[in-house]
Chain A
Amino acid sequence: MFLNNRASIRNPSAEISLFIRRALIAFTTVLMLVLVLMVNLYQIQIKSHEAYQTRANGNRIKVIPVAPNRGLIFDRNGILLAENRPVHSLELVSEQIDDIEATVEKISQIISLTIDEKSQFFKSVKAQRRFKSIALKNKLTSEQVAKLSVNLHLLPGVSIEARLKRYYPFGASLTHVVGYVAKITKKEQQTIIDNEEQARYAATRDIGKQGIEKYYQRLLHGQAGYQEVEVNNRGRIIRVLNYHPPVHGQDLFLNIDIRLQQQAFNMLDGRRGAVVAIDPNNGAVLALVTSPSYDPNLFVHGISTKEYKKLLSRDKPLINRATLGAYPPASTVKPLLALAALENQVISETSYIQDPGWFKLPNVERKFKDHLAWGHGKVNLYRALEKSCNTFFYDLAYRLGIDKISEFMYKFGFGDYTGIDIHEEVSAIMPSRTWKKNRYNQPWYIGDTISLGIGQSYWTVTPLQLANSVAMVASNGKSFTPQILGASQSENGLLQIPAQQRSNIVLNNNDNWRIIHQGMWNVNNSPGGTAFKIFKDAPYASAGKTGTAQVASLSEDVKYDKKKIKERLRDNAIYVGYAPFQTPEIAISVAIENAGHGGSSAAPIARSLFDIYLDKNTSGLSSGLLQVKQKNLDKLGQTL
């Protein structure tokens, strides 16, 4: 078949011109197709250039938030109470890992991982978004960091992150003042979104949960900065294009004196109770101690279930007793009741009663017993305070009546929030007719009034309220909102927080202050005073009042015998006081649950705190803050 056709006659020049025609058509087509390509490329490169440029930048430029450093917390003398320490954690980004389980397995061959850590991690992997990094192990030791670092190139998507974590060097003694920070919960995240603060919190993992850390979260936190970085297709940062530094949180200086805080905490020694010390001149909270307490550092990295269960013990270490504990004030409010009676002219400085050892309402059989079964005999106001004579105050309360008592006590802040700068606070109860009606739907009985005379019945106070009321007494009625925060320091300098004055208590007769001051002086200084032994060799003059609150009501004829009563049913020991007597600088309340008599158990703590605070050799209190400011500026200079 081939051979037959080979012989056909060929016309070379016609074949050439045919070829050239075809080649020209082909070349024209080539040119047209190249034009098509060029038109398309023109569309992409010129017409849509900006859009593609934006997308190219979107590919390569990532904005990474930079967390601000949380402000430090100092006491009034510049002692560091809350600091930030670098902590290394091992983190994984699941998006960048093909087989997470295999990777975790590989890691567990390098460093040991507990089952708890693994399960916690896999739980978070499911819950978190894929491109967010999730911690597999926190608090790496330097040895673990070293071991992991050399193997990191074999583990794509795994990194060691150094973050600043809160550390509380004083541990449990300050937990209920400073509080603590921990991981932001979903609910808190929602609040942040609701407040439109996402940008502020963009790089933040922890948030204040309690105390100062929570109350002043805004000041302490600061504002996140951000950096624009160039990344490659695996998200690795190639270089930083732009850096907007974060605004670091403000450093806070508390009014707290850590020496007082520590001393009170140590003296409480795990017993259940609270101590509050306030400067009567400005409402500065010098100490706010609750016992038992717990180590706040446990919560910073997430507390284990086992550890947390321990904190749910019967002693309730999670409760801030100083502000949440409502105790019957017992005899510690007797000076105030005396003041109310003087103001209402129910008694005078010199009026007296005969105490047979009991008080009886007219026409009622029930006896209200004094603590001395045989009575104090002839008792005036001074003797009644010095000896804490109950009968005198039964009579006094009876004559004042409930309305005048509650009205007068409201002025000293009872039954109301003090407004202290932590969120954990209760108002406790200052009973009145309407309160009882609302609460129990019962009328007020005259017997209720009699018990109020010795700070019992429905009356409860928090140790904070009690200390605050003593501060008002000490300062002749000056009233302040208790302040834990003393000053804050930002880039703009140190800002002193001014005292928050409330309306002063004005008496009809100003001399009445002197009378009850004298009565309280007697308690600490007169040889018969209930706290005389405790204060007898003090280098300063002080005033005070002991209290012993019944926890369980004993029937009328049973004599209180400490040894026979179960520990939990024993009386609460309470003490209030202030010093120095002439120019008060510190007012205090001490409450210890089931510790018995206020004079012997509670007063020694007050004595010890007065000693420390008023010892001018060891304290540089007034100038302390300024020195601290200088010290911290130096420190800042060093770290920068």
Chain B
Amino acid sequence: MMSSNSQHHGYARKTSFWKRIHLDIPLLLGILTLMTISLMVVYSATGGSSFMIKAHAIRIGIALLVMFFVAQIPPDTLRRWALPLFVVGVCLLIATLLFGYSSKGAQRWLDLGITKFQPSEAMKLILPIMVAHYITRHALPPKIKHVMFGFIIVLLPTLLIAKQPDLGTSILVASAGFFALFLAGMSWRIILFLAGAISAFIPVLWFFLMHGYQRQRVLTFLNPESDPLGSGYHIIQSKIAIGSGGLFGKGWLNGTQSQLEFLPERHTDFIFAVFSEEFGLVGVALLLLVYLFVIGRGLFIAARAQDPFSRVLAGSITLTFFVYLFVNIGMVSGILPVVGVPLPLVSYGGTSMMTLMLGFGMLMSIQTHRRFNK
């Protein structure tokens, strides 16, 4: 009986199997492609270190498992947990500022005894859940007062994170919240007003809120050659790596800038430069296509989600993923100042990988927990 069924409805049965275990195959394939690229480039960037590549592979495995488990959680459960998660998240951020663990002049970690924990990372997901939950409680498009309150929800954790200071994460958290509001349909007038307000806010940010090293990063960004051995070194070496790659690149494991260690942070934030040097513009174009596929699939899942909360959440997660991508490539190739944002799913490092995969787990959950097909 089963066998004749699968013969007649083979495709449908298969789909329903993946659906039953809550995995979205196209998205998973995109993610796995990026992870394969990641393993290759990290291997090259660490000079063929088997220790590093093993650690990276284990993290990827764990991240996939985490994604799988999160995918089993129905979106509705996430929605119900939105407020408690947010409250706990904000409390932890406050705790981090008060009792956090300092390294390299920033207080980002909370020591939980057995492990260190970065509450700002969790906030990258908690905030879009919270905003999506809050804004979709009402009819869409949202009313101005709801948008305003939404902004307060966004600003609270953003400022707490910026205070640590962690510019990269605060940008990502703020974007996630903003995208939720944008996708919910906040009016263009507010968006324009916001754009004006932000432009007006930049001088205030520059003179009163930014730290010395953050200002230095921006100055360096504007003219990296002013201090080629100091603060401009990263970006100059990175551009040399990218530029010397040319159209087809120098070949895997053959990038001189990375193999001879002229490129700093080559397996973490600047891994895109390693990739560009070794695979050239052609490789870069293919990589960006894979990313666009993942983003496209994410937005597709969002558009087909069954309720407003899922839609907004899925869209926000996907667009935040793009922000990672854009900020990272932008900074590595010199069109954005250097902020500590990794290349999503490719850079070495467990924390960002885990956060991203949690997000993708949610996307898969949203895709596979639909009760009916439209």
Taking beta carbons and an 8 Å cutoff, which residues of A are in contact with B?
2, 5-6, 8-11, 15-16, 18-20, 22-23, 26-27, 30-31, 33-34, 36-38, 40-42, 44-46, 48-49, 51-53, 55-57, 59-60, 230-234, 238
A-B contact pairs, 10 of them (CB 8 A): A11-B139, A19-B185, A26-B182, A37-B330, A37-B333, A41-B329, A49-B247, A52-B242, A53-B243, A60-B256
Tell me whether A53 and B185 are in contact (CB under 8 A): no
Evaluate whether A55 and B137 lie within 8 angstroms (CB atoms) in the complex, with A22-B182, A23-B302, A40-B335 already known: no
User: Do A59 and B256 touch across chains, with their CB atoms under 8 A apart?
Assistant: yes
Interface pair B183/A19, CB less than 8 Å apart: yes
Residues on the A chain within 8 Å of B143, using CB: 5
Q: Chain B residues near A233 (CB, 8 Å)?
A: 260-262
Partner of A18, one of B185, B240, B281, B285: B185
Interface string of B226-241 (1 = CB under 8 A from A): 0000000000010111
Q: Are B285 and A22 in contact, CB atoms less than 8 angstroms apart?
A: no
- Of chain A, the residue at the smallest CB distance from B284 is A41
Interface residues of B in 282-329 (CB under 8 A from A): 284-285, 288, 291-292, 295-296, 299, 302-303, 308, 311-312, 315, 319, 322, 326, 329
Q: Which residues of A contact B179 (CB under 8 A)?
A: 26
Q: Knowing A44-B333, A48-B243 touch, does A18 contact B276 (C-beta < 8 A)?
A: no
A2 cross-chain contacts in B, Cβ below 8 A: 137
Instruction: Check B340 for interface membership: any CB of A closer than 8 A.
Output: no
Residue contact B243 to A45, C-beta cutoff 8 Å: yes
Residues of B within 8 A of A (CB): 137-141, 143, 146, 179, 182-185, 237, 239-247, 256-257, 260-262, 276, 280-281, 284-285, 288, 291-292, 295-296, 299, 302-303, 308, 311-312, 315, 319, 322, 326, 329-330, 333-335
Q: Which 9 A/B pairs are nearest by Cβ-Cβ distance?
A: A52-B243, A56-B244, A232-B260, A45-B281, A233-B261, A8-B139, A44-B243, A10-B139, A49-B246
B82 to chain A, nearest CB (A): 12
**Within the assembled complex, what's the spacing in Å between the Cα atoms of A503 and B333?**
79
| B140:A46 contact, CB within 8 angstroms | no
How near does chain A come to B283, taking the closest CB pair, in angstroms?
10
**A26 lies within 8 A of B326 (CB):** no
Contact partners of B288 in chain A: CB under 8 A: 34, 37-38
Among B303, B329, B335, contact of A19 (Cβ-Cβ < 8 Å): B303
- On whether the beta carbons of A45 and B330 are closer than 8 Å, the reply is no
The answer to whether B138 touches A6, judged by C-beta atoms less than 8 angstroms apart, is: yes
**Contact between B247 and A46, CB atoms less than 8 A apart:** yes
Task: Determine whether the beta carbon of A5 is less than 8 Å from that of B138.
Answer: yes
Q: Which of A15, A30, A232 interacts with B261 by CB under 8 Å?
A: A232
A44 to B281, CA, bound (A): 9
Which A residue's beta carbon lies closest to that of B326? A33
Give the complex CA separation of A19 and B183 in angstroms. Answer: 6
Taken together as a complex, chains A and B put the C-alpha atoms of A30 and B289 apart, in Å, by 12
B243 lies within 8 A of A51 (CB): yes
* CB atoms of B308 and A15 under 8 A apart: yes
**Nearest CB of B to A497, in Å:** 50
Of the residues A30, A45, A238, contact of B292 by C-beta under 8 Å: A30
A5–B136 alpha-carbon span in the complex (Å): 11
Q: Give Cα A232–Cα B308 distance, bound, in whole angstroms.
A: 54
A22-B285 Cα distance, complex, nearest whole Å: 26
Which of B276, B302, B329 makes the CB contact (< 8 A) with A45?
Answer: B276
